[in-house]
Amino acid sequence: MNTERKPNNRGNLQNKSKEKSKLRRITATSSRWLHIYLSMISFAVLLFFAVTGLTLNHPDWFADQQSTNEIKGNLNVNWVNNIDTSKISKLEIVEHLRNKEKIKGALSEFRITEYECSVSFKGPGYSADAYISREDGVYSITEIKSGFVAVLNDLHKGRDSGKNWAVLIDISAIMMTLVSLSGLILILFIKKKRTNGLLIAVVGAILCYIIYKLFVP
């Protein structure tokens, strides 16, 4: 008499079904949690980039906010008239302009020619260019302040805003990508809305492409 038991195929199928159902439940729960909390964390960032996207597209709305200041002065001639240009006191010159003339922004360029030194400072919505005579230390500065909205626009683009702000932009981009992907995963678990939701997403992508092909030079 053969007492060997046959494999319980029904039991194996049930176990696989339970494991699959559990994985789906964990995926749905994790995606929902990620979507909700990342959406709340990135709300301010998303709002900032949305609003500044509009202001970037219409710079003429805020053109009258720009102001230009002309500043003149003189500094220690010994800092600039050394024949050996490697011994020109760059640090002292920059600190003098910052402390006395209240120049802002990060130092972007320091050029030395036979007759003058030119120093440029850049920041979000801000620029200052100083020209210093190597003969007598007399300088002139053109300072341009473009206004609060221009500051926001430059922060949006990451222009002249430093490495730390660039890191924040990268983190924001990653967060918004995760929000989008988690939302897409969630729609896959909603049977009644899954087809329509994916269809609308595809239609939106196609419309963007059509607008690009037809209207972008």
In terms of DSSP bridges, do strands 106-112 and 116-123 run parallel, antiparallel, or are they unpaired?
antiparallel
Q: What pLDDT sits at residue 180? A: 84
Per-position b or e across 6-34, b if 16+ CB within 10 A of its CB = eeeeeeeeeeeeeeeeeeeeeeeeebeeb
Give the pLDDT of residue 95. Answer: 95
> How far apart, in Å, are the Cα atoms of 135 and each of 3, 54, 77, 113, 138?
109, 48, 7, 12, 8
The confidence score (pLDDT) of residue 127 equals 96
pLDDT value for 12: 63
Structure tokens at 71: 């500043």
Positions of the chain with pLDDT lower than 50, given as ranges: 1
Dihedral sign, Cα of residue 171, residue 182, residue 44, residue 205: positive
